[in-house]
Amino acid sequence: MSEKILGVLGGLGPLATVYFMDLVVKMTEAKKDQDHISMIVLNHAAIPDRTDFILDNTKPNPLPVMIEDAKKLQAAGADYVVMPCNTAHFFYEQIQKNIEIPMLNIIEETVKYAVNHTANIKKLGILATKGTISAGAYQNMCRKYALDCVVPSLSDEASLMNLIYNQVKAGKEVNIDEFIKIIEHMKADGCDAVALGCTELSVINKDFALKRPDIIDSLEVLAERSIVLCGKQVKGEKVCADS
């Protein structure tokens, strides 16, 4: 496969974008610079908040900005576009129809990964922002792949939003015990695996090196898929090569 260039529509938020780039580099089988994939990154932190608009469409609409950013990535030579943000995929179809290059869908890739790599999976738990949950993005994708989908209780959702916005995005210390408690609530509800459907939660997963096989990190899945599509090799087993 010839080398392709990855366009990263970033800033959603900035820390998750930087972590995504770090993942791509560290997960690529490389002995020299030229073994890595080439990326064009637009880390546009000023894009209006996605959850705010999804919950209240009188708030500033991020869609026009994201469409323009995707067009800039295409014009700069990208062969694929990715958004390292689950909530922003509320706008996925509208962005995709405004560009001529493929855009990877982090939500579909994550659910496919769960189906292909969790033995006998029947029920997938989703940890995500209130915007992602309210939009039904993961619920709809789970139905497409014949999975039951479990979302957090109202109290756990409030705790997650606090972790995401008041701790990770704010650059403050994360209450890891609270995070683990939410995961265990999901497991107690019969989930075979739990997907981190918010890239700020991926940052928590990295910072605390959880390395649990029952946790599926959407940002790691997107990084692996990006490497393979761009013609390079993932370190170790190429888990996304046939997904």
Alpha-carbon span 125 to 142, nearest angstrom: 10
What value, to the nearest 5°, has the Cα angle with vertex 36 and ends 233 and 45?
Answer: 115
Cα–Cα distance, 124 to 183 (Å, whole number):
11
Q: What is the pTM of this model?
A: 0.92
Q: Match 């479990």 to its residue by tokens.
A: 150
203, 15 contact by CB (below 8 A): yes
- Domains of the chain, residue spans: 5-105+221-229, 106-218
Domain 5-105+221-229 coded CATH 3.40.190.10: no
Preceding peptide of 7 cis, ω within 30° = no
Q: Which residues are catalytic?
A: 85, 198
- Inform me whether the pLDDT recorded for 150 exceeds 60: yes
CA angle in degrees (0–180, nearest 5) for 53-54-60: 10
- Euclidean distance between CA atoms 243 and 225, whole angstroms: 9
Lookup result for tokens 């990964």: 113
Phi, psi at 9, each rounded to 5°: -85, 95
Q: Does residue 196 have a pLDDT over 80?
A: yes
Residue type, 129: T
Residue 236 has pLDDT above 90, yes or no: no
The yes-or-no answer to whether 5-105+221-229 and 106-218 have a common fold is yes
**30 phi and psi angles, rounded to 5 deg:** -145, 135
pLDDT tens, residue by residue, 104-147 = 999 999 999 999 999 999 999 999 999 999 999 999 999 999 99
CA distance 241 to 237: 9
Amino acid at residue number 172: K
Look up residue 97 and give its two tokens: 């129809």
Note the pLDDT tens digit of each residue in 154-182.
Answer: 999 999 999 999 999 999 999 999 999 99
CATH class of the domain defined by 106-218: alpha beta
Question: Do 207 and 173 meet the contact criterion of CB atoms below 8 Å apart?
Answer: no
In the predicted structure, residue 70 carries a pLDDT above the cut 80: yes
